[in-house]
Amino acid sequence: MEALVEYIAKSLVEDPTQVAVEQKNSGSSIIIELRVAQEDTGRVIGKNGRVADAIRSLLRVMSDNSRKRVILKIV
pLDDT tens string 2-58: 999 999 999 999 999 999 999 999 888 999 999 999 999 999 999 999 999 999 999
Please give the DSSP secondary-structure letter assigned to residue 8: H
Domains annotated for the chain, with CATH where assigned, are 2-74 (3.30.300.20)
pLDDT of 50 reads 97
Task: Place 62 in a pLDDT band, splitting at 50, 70 and 90.
Answer: confident
Asked if pLDDT for residue 67 goes beyond 90, the answer is: no
Reported as a single tens digit per residue, the pLDDT across 31-45 is 999 999 999 999 999
For 56, residues 6+ apart whose C-beta sits below 8 A from its C-beta are 70, 72
Give strand pairing partners of 20. Answer: 35
